[in-house]
Amino acid sequence: MGADAGGRPLRRREYDEDDVRVRPGKGSRPRTRRRPAHENAVAGFVVAVDRGRYTCLSPSTGTLITAMKARELGRKGIVVGDRVALVGDVSGRPDSLARVVRVEPRTSMLRRTADDTDDVERPVVANADQLVIVTALADPEPRPRMIDRVLVAAYDAEIDPLLCLTKADLASPDGLVALYAPLGVPYVVVSKGGSLDGLRTALADRISVLVGHSGVGKSTLVNALVPDADRAVSQVNPVTGRGRHTSTSAVALELPGGGWIIDTPGVRSFGLAHVSMETVLAAFPDLAPGSVECPKGCNHLGEECALDAWAAAGHADPARLVSLRRLLASREGAPDED
């Protein structure tokens, strides 16, 4: 085997200013109006979004600027991680409100759907370059199929995955490492109070999104990585003053050593209805090569599928084939519980 996480295909998509998937025949209105140039706009990095208010960090001054979307942006979405251009009152003073007049081209867009049959795509975070799958080794038990699901989302978004195995004081990481290391998925093992050096190195100077189920130790990690994380979150959420424990949307927090982590407390599921069959399969590099023997148009669920023989021949762990099939079946309406 020996699939390599570095051996990713070239970027399949460009993410530009109009990175909204438009349904044909709906709302296509010719754009004749000339936009003002906004030469004096200042740059902002969106660290939080709350009901139409965007909290943006000015990289040049370090000021937090609250802004709303300029009307000219229409229905274009703005998410945490976006780099934007701001005009109006950019002082960042209490009660001041700037306007976002432009969203800069994105390098990536992490998306999900509510479940596998939901056709509404939900953009989660823009411009992330790493997706950290936080999984406890025990309490709660690891859920490999959730890991596989998030790996598919990372692959689809062309974001590097990182498996972060927590609570190493409670159980050994060996089983999970044996499953994912051969696939080229990088991993770190941590425990509360233990060293976070490996994780810090992996996060340095990158924009990393943290996903994980409730109780896996995500807050514990965030608090250890970002001193005063709670206060930082209440600062970026001035509209409601809600802290991270009640917040449901993503929040970007700057790491003391450089780089950002984006916590996603509201993301409890990773529906993959928007991902093509080819992309799902490509995210299973141990199984994908076996599919060349499949009949044309194989849905990889029936008896004619060549993947059973591929796994039986020892090319892939049969548990991985089960996981792939559960995921594919879920996209056809079957439940997918770990």
Ligand X SMILES: Nc1nc2c(ncn2[C@@H]2O[C@H](COP(=O)(O)OP(=O)(O)OP(=O)(O)O)[C@@H](O)[C@H]2O)c(=O)[nH]1
56 marked as binding residue: no
Q: Which stretch binds ligand X (CB under 6 A): 42-50, 109-117, 163-171, 316-324?
A: 163-171
The listed partner (Zn ion, ligand X, none) that binds 298, CB under 5 to 8 Å by sort, is Zn ion
Among 32, 40, 195, 214, binds ligand X (CB under 6 A): 214
Query: Does position 212 bind ligand X by CB under 6 A?
Result: yes
- State the residues that interact with Zn ion by CB under 5 A: 294, 298, 300, 305
Q: Which stretch binds ligand X (CB under 6 A): 82-90, 165-173, 235-243, 279-287?
A: 165-173
Strand ranges (DSSP E) for 51-147? 53-57, 64-69, 83-88, 98-103, 109-112, 122-126, 130-136
* Minimum CB distance to ligand X, residue 224 (Å): 9
The Cα 59–Cα 63 span in angstroms is 8
* Pairing assessment for the beta strands 42-50 and 53-57 based on DSSP bridges: antiparallel
CB 28 within 8 A of CB 22: yes
Query: Does position 219 bind ligand X by CB under 6 A?
Result: yes
Please name the residues in contact with 207: beta carbons below 8 A apart, sequence gap of 6 or more: 81, 127, 128, 129, 130, 252, 259, 260, 262
Q: Which is nearer to ligand X, 60 or 195 (CB)?
A: 195
Query: Does position 192 bind ligand X by CB under 6 A?
Result: yes
Query: Does position 166 bind ligand X by CB under 6 A?
Result: yes
212 marked as binding residue: yes
* Minimum CB distance to Zn ion, residue 290 (Å): 8
Which structure tokens are listed for 217?
């130790």
Query: Does position 215 bind ligand X by CB under 6 A?
Result: yes
The listed partner (ligand X, Zn ion, none) that binds 301, CB under 5 to 8 Å by sort, is none
Residue with token string 């009640």: 246
The Cα 5–Cα 198 span in angstroms is 18
54: left (phi over 0), alpha (psi -120 to 50) or beta: beta
2 marked as binding residue: no
Q: Which is nearer to ligand X, 230 or 308 (CB)?
A: 230
Query: Does position 44 bind ligand X by CB under 6 A?
Result: no
Which structure tokens are listed for 336?
């997918």
CB 218 within 8 A of CB 212: yes
Among 44, 81, 161, 217, binds ligand X (CB under 6 A): 217
The listed partner (Zn ion, ligand X, none) that binds 294, CB under 5 to 8 Å by sort, is Zn ion
* Pairing assessment for the beta strands 160-166 and 130-136 based on DSSP bridges: parallel
The Cα 166–Cα 224 span in angstroms is 13
Residues that bind ligand X (CB under 6 A): 166-167, 169-170, 191-192, 212, 214-220
In the annotated binding site, the residues are 166-169, 212-220, 294, 298, 300, 305
